[in-house]
Amino acid sequence: MTEIVAPPHPFDAALTLTSGEPLKGRTQPEYANMVGPFGGMTAATLVRVIEQHPDRLGNPLALTVNYAGPIADGEFEITSRILRTNQHWQLELVQDGTVTTSATAVFGTRRDTWADTELTMPAAPDPEDLPAQGLPDFIAWARNYDMRFVEGAIPGQDSGECPESTSTVWVRDTPARPLDFPSLTAMTDVFYPRVFLRRGRYMAAGTVSLTVYFHATAEQLDAVGADHVLGTARAHRFTRGYFDQAAQLWSRDGSLLATSHQLVYFKD
Protein backbone atom coordinates (compact mmCIF):
# COMPACT_ATOMS: atom_id res chain seq x y z
CA MET A 1 0.00 0.00 0.00
CA THR A 2 1.40 3.38 -1.00
CA GLU A 3 1.83 5.78 1.89
CA ILE A 4 0.37 9.21 1.24
CA VAL A 5 2.69 11.95 2.49
CA ALA A 6 0.95 15.18 3.43
CA PRO A 7 2.44 18.32 1.87
CA PRO A 8 4.34 20.58 4.28
CA HIS A 9 2.58 23.47 5.94
CA PRO A 10 2.90 26.59 3.71
CA PHE A 11 5.01 28.27 6.40
CA ASP A 12 7.43 25.35 6.53
CA ALA A 13 7.57 25.20 2.74
CA ALA A 14 8.54 28.89 2.67
CA LEU A 15 11.29 28.20 5.24
CA THR A 16 12.88 25.45 3.13
CA LEU A 17 16.60 26.00 2.53
CA THR A 18 19.13 24.02 0.54
CA SER A 19 22.20 22.63 2.27
CA GLY A 20 25.67 23.99 1.60
CA GLU A 21 27.20 27.46 1.79
CA PRO A 22 25.68 29.82 1.03
CA LEU A 23 22.24 28.51 1.85
CA LYS A 24 19.66 29.04 -0.86
CA GLY A 25 15.94 29.64 -0.53
CA ARG A 26 13.09 30.85 -2.71
CA THR A 27 10.28 33.32 -2.12
CA GLN A 28 6.81 31.77 -2.07
CA PRO A 29 3.73 33.43 -3.61
CA GLU A 30 1.68 32.46 -0.54
CA TYR A 31 3.74 34.93 1.52
CA ALA A 32 3.89 37.78 -0.98
CA ASN A 33 3.30 41.33 0.19
CA MET A 34 2.38 44.34 -1.91
CA VAL A 35 6.08 44.72 -2.82
CA GLY A 36 8.26 41.63 -2.37
CA PRO A 37 7.73 39.00 0.34
CA PHE A 38 6.18 39.52 3.77
CA GLY A 39 8.92 40.98 5.97
CA GLY A 40 8.00 38.69 8.84
CA MET A 41 8.64 35.68 6.62
CA THR A 42 12.09 37.02 5.75
CA ALA A 43 12.88 37.52 9.44
CA ALA A 44 11.61 34.02 10.25
CA THR A 45 13.85 32.56 7.54
CA LEU A 46 16.90 34.21 9.11
CA VAL A 47 16.04 32.66 12.47
CA ARG A 48 15.70 29.26 10.79
CA VAL A 49 19.15 29.69 9.18
CA ILE A 50 20.76 29.96 12.62
CA GLU A 51 18.62 27.20 14.09
CA GLN A 52 19.97 24.83 11.43
CA HIS A 53 23.61 25.87 11.86
CA PRO A 54 25.77 23.18 13.49
CA ASP A 55 27.44 25.76 15.76
CA ARG A 56 24.20 27.18 17.12
CA LEU A 57 23.75 27.04 20.90
CA GLY A 58 20.47 27.82 22.65
CA ASN A 59 17.53 29.74 21.26
CA PRO A 60 17.01 33.27 19.94
CA LEU A 61 17.21 36.15 22.39
CA ALA A 62 17.25 39.09 19.98
CA LEU A 63 17.08 39.71 16.24
CA THR A 64 17.49 42.91 14.23
CA VAL A 65 16.65 42.86 10.53
CA ASN A 66 17.45 45.79 8.22
CA TYR A 67 15.55 45.71 4.94
CA ALA A 68 18.07 47.38 2.66
CA GLY A 69 16.09 46.97 -0.55
CA PRO A 70 13.22 45.04 -2.13
CA ILE A 71 13.51 41.26 -2.46
CA ALA A 72 12.48 40.10 -5.92
CA ASP A 73 10.39 36.99 -6.46
CA GLY A 74 12.64 33.98 -6.91
CA GLU A 75 15.82 32.53 -5.46
CA PHE A 76 18.00 34.14 -2.82
CA GLU A 77 21.16 33.25 -0.90
CA ILE A 78 21.86 33.69 2.81
CA THR A 79 25.28 33.77 4.43
CA SER A 80 25.80 33.65 8.19
CA ARG A 81 28.79 33.86 10.50
CA ILE A 82 29.39 33.94 14.23
CA LEU A 83 30.88 37.27 15.31
CA ARG A 84 31.77 35.87 18.75
CA THR A 85 31.53 32.40 20.18
CA ASN A 86 28.93 33.56 22.70
CA GLN A 87 26.38 33.30 19.86
CA HIS A 88 26.40 36.75 18.26
CA TRP A 89 25.55 36.27 14.57
CA GLN A 90 25.62 38.31 11.38
CA LEU A 91 23.54 37.40 8.32
CA GLU A 92 23.06 38.71 4.78
CA LEU A 93 20.38 37.87 2.24
CA VAL A 94 21.68 38.38 -1.31
CA GLN A 95 20.10 38.37 -4.77
CA ASP A 96 22.18 38.74 -7.95
CA GLY A 97 25.20 39.79 -5.90
CA THR A 98 23.32 42.58 -4.10
CA VAL A 99 22.54 42.58 -0.39
CA THR A 100 18.80 43.15 0.07
CA THR A 101 18.62 42.34 3.79
CA SER A 102 21.15 42.33 6.62
CA ALA A 103 20.64 41.14 10.16
CA THR A 104 22.27 40.52 13.50
CA ALA A 105 21.05 38.00 16.06
CA VAL A 106 21.88 36.86 19.54
CA PHE A 107 21.21 33.29 20.65
CA GLY A 108 21.77 31.88 24.12
CA THR A 109 20.82 29.40 26.80
CA ARG A 110 18.54 30.69 29.52
CA ARG A 111 18.93 29.85 33.21
CA ASP A 112 16.50 30.04 36.11
CA THR A 113 16.52 33.44 37.84
CA TRP A 114 14.13 35.82 39.56
CA ALA A 115 11.51 36.96 37.03
CA ASP A 116 8.73 39.51 36.70
CA THR A 117 6.68 41.11 33.89
CA GLU A 118 5.87 44.82 34.22
CA LEU A 119 3.68 45.01 31.11
CA THR A 120 0.04 44.01 31.49
CA MET A 121 -1.68 41.85 28.91
CA PRO A 122 -4.53 43.78 27.24
CA ALA A 123 -8.04 42.79 28.25
CA ALA A 124 -9.65 40.87 25.42
CA PRO A 125 -12.52 38.46 24.79
CA ASP A 126 -11.51 34.91 23.90
CA PRO A 127 -10.75 34.53 20.19
CA GLU A 128 -13.64 32.07 19.84
CA ASP A 129 -16.00 34.92 20.76
CA LEU A 130 -14.75 37.19 17.97
CA PRO A 131 -15.32 36.96 14.22
CA ALA A 132 -12.44 36.12 11.91
CA GLN A 133 -11.43 39.40 10.28
CA GLY A 134 -8.14 39.64 8.47
CA LEU A 135 -6.53 42.04 6.03
CA PRO A 136 -7.72 42.74 2.48
CA ASP A 137 -7.57 39.66 0.26
CA PHE A 138 -5.02 41.20 -2.11
CA ILE A 139 -2.43 40.97 0.70
CA ALA A 140 -1.47 37.35 0.04
CA TRP A 141 0.57 36.64 3.19
CA ALA A 142 -2.31 37.61 5.49
CA ARG A 143 -4.40 34.70 4.18
CA ASN A 144 -2.02 32.44 6.14
CA TYR A 145 -3.24 33.86 9.45
CA ASP A 146 -6.46 33.58 11.41
CA MET A 147 -6.92 37.11 12.76
CA ARG A 148 -9.62 38.19 15.21
CA PHE A 149 -9.44 41.90 16.00
CA VAL A 150 -10.26 43.18 19.48
CA GLU A 151 -9.67 46.77 18.38
CA GLY A 152 -8.04 48.65 15.53
CA ALA A 153 -9.05 46.53 12.54
CA ILE A 154 -7.63 47.78 9.26
CA PRO A 155 -9.72 50.75 8.10
CA GLY A 156 -11.56 50.95 4.85
CA GLN A 157 -10.12 53.29 2.26
CA ASP A 158 -10.97 56.90 3.17
CA SER A 159 -12.73 55.82 6.38
CA GLY A 160 -11.52 58.90 8.24
CA GLU A 161 -8.66 59.58 10.62
CA CYS A 162 -8.33 57.84 14.00
CA PRO A 163 -6.98 59.69 17.05
CA GLU A 164 -4.69 56.83 18.13
CA SER A 165 -2.87 53.92 16.54
CA THR A 166 -3.44 50.83 18.70
CA SER A 167 -4.51 47.50 17.24
CA THR A 168 -5.08 44.40 19.37
CA VAL A 169 -5.68 41.09 17.62
CA TRP A 170 -5.72 37.35 18.29
CA VAL A 171 -3.64 35.59 15.64
CA ARG A 172 -2.46 32.11 14.70
CA ASP A 173 -1.27 30.33 11.58
CA THR A 174 -3.86 28.88 9.22
CA PRO A 175 -3.87 25.97 8.75
CA ALA A 176 -3.14 25.73 12.47
CA ARG A 177 0.53 25.02 13.20
CA PRO A 178 2.41 24.63 16.51
CA LEU A 179 4.15 27.84 17.50
CA ASP A 180 7.96 27.86 17.29
CA PHE A 181 10.60 30.58 17.16
CA PRO A 182 10.40 31.23 13.39
CA SER A 183 6.60 31.51 13.46
CA LEU A 184 6.73 33.71 16.57
CA THR A 185 9.20 35.94 14.71
CA ALA A 186 6.86 36.28 11.75
CA MET A 187 3.90 37.11 13.99
CA THR A 188 5.69 40.16 15.41
CA ASP A 189 5.27 41.67 11.92
CA VAL A 190 1.61 40.83 11.21
CA PHE A 191 0.45 44.32 12.19
CA TYR A 192 -0.38 46.55 9.24
CA PRO A 193 1.35 49.98 9.24
CA ARG A 194 0.00 52.15 12.04
CA VAL A 195 -0.21 55.13 9.70
CA PHE A 196 -3.09 53.41 7.88
CA LEU A 197 -5.17 53.57 11.07
CA ARG A 198 -4.21 57.12 12.00
CA ARG A 199 -4.83 58.50 8.51
CA GLY A 200 -7.79 56.25 7.74
CA ARG A 201 -6.50 55.10 4.36
CA TYR A 202 -3.86 52.98 2.65
CA MET A 203 -0.63 54.57 1.47
CA ALA A 204 2.87 53.52 0.47
CA ALA A 205 4.65 52.20 3.57
CA GLY A 206 7.29 49.60 4.39
CA THR A 207 9.44 48.39 7.27
CA VAL A 208 13.01 49.69 7.25
CA SER A 209 14.26 47.96 10.39
CA LEU A 210 12.69 45.36 12.71
CA THR A 211 14.00 44.25 16.10
CA VAL A 212 12.49 41.33 17.99
CA TYR A 213 13.20 40.43 21.61
CA PHE A 214 12.30 36.87 22.55
CA HIS A 215 11.07 36.32 26.11
CA ALA A 216 9.58 32.84 25.73
CA THR A 217 11.38 29.57 26.26
CA ALA A 218 10.95 26.63 23.93
CA GLU A 219 8.83 24.96 26.62
CA GLN A 220 6.47 27.95 26.75
CA LEU A 221 6.04 27.82 22.98
CA ASP A 222 5.31 24.10 23.19
CA ALA A 223 2.61 24.90 25.77
CA VAL A 224 0.97 27.38 23.38
CA GLY A 225 0.87 24.74 20.66
CA ALA A 226 -1.38 25.80 17.78
CA ASP A 227 -3.47 28.19 19.90
CA HIS A 228 -4.00 31.88 19.16
CA VAL A 229 -1.66 34.45 20.65
CA LEU A 230 -2.74 37.99 21.49
CA GLY A 231 -0.82 40.76 19.75
CA THR A 232 -1.01 44.48 20.33
CA ALA A 233 0.82 47.26 18.47
CA ARG A 234 0.98 51.02 18.47
CA ALA A 235 3.14 53.84 17.17
CA HIS A 236 4.89 56.50 19.25
CA ARG A 237 5.64 59.25 16.73
CA PHE A 238 5.06 60.00 13.05
CA THR A 239 7.47 62.53 11.58
CA ARG A 240 9.11 63.40 8.25
CA GLY A 241 8.18 60.21 6.44
CA TYR A 242 8.92 57.69 9.20
CA PHE A 243 7.29 56.30 12.31
CA ASP A 244 8.10 53.69 14.92
CA GLN A 245 5.81 50.77 15.75
CA ALA A 246 6.05 48.73 18.97
CA ALA A 247 4.33 45.39 19.51
CA GLN A 248 3.90 42.66 22.12
CA LEU A 249 2.73 39.05 21.76
CA TRP A 250 1.08 37.18 24.64
CA SER A 251 -0.05 33.60 25.19
CA ARG A 252 -3.63 33.02 26.27
CA ASP A 253 -2.46 32.36 29.84
CA GLY A 254 -0.80 35.80 30.04
CA SER A 255 2.85 34.99 29.33
CA LEU A 256 4.69 37.68 27.39
CA LEU A 257 6.27 35.75 24.51
CA ALA A 258 8.00 38.48 22.47
CA THR A 259 8.25 42.22 22.01
CA SER A 260 9.27 44.07 18.87
CA HIS A 261 10.06 47.52 17.61
CA GLN A 262 10.29 48.66 14.03
CA LEU A 263 10.94 51.74 11.99
CA VAL A 264 8.55 52.22 9.07
CA TYR A 265 8.78 54.47 6.03
CA PHE A 266 5.62 56.07 4.68
CA LYS A 267 4.67 58.39 1.85
CA ASP A 268 1.65 60.55 2.56
Q: Residues 190-241: pLDDT tens digits?
A: 999 999 999 999 999 999 999 999 999 999 999 999 999 999 999 999 999 9
pLDDT in the model for residue 1: 54
CA dihedral 169, 173, 176, 182 (to 10 degrees): -120
From CA 128, how far away is CA 148, in angstroms rounded? 9
The answer as to CATH 2.60.40.3500 being correct for domain 10-108+126-267 is no
The sign one gets for the Cα dihedral 126, 245, 190, 115 is: negative
CB of 190 closer than 8 Å to CB of 231: yes
CA pair distance 243, 194, nearest whole angstrom: 8
C-alpha distances (whole Å) from 27 to each of 17, 45, 147, 260 are 11, 10, 23, 24
pTM of the model: 0.95
How many residues are given for the chain?
Answer: 268
Residue 132 to residue 148: CA distance in whole angstroms: 5
The pLDDT tens digits for 149-194 are 999 999 987 788 999 999 999 999 999 999 999 999 999 999 999 9
Please give the average per-residue pLDDT across 237-257, as a whole number: 97
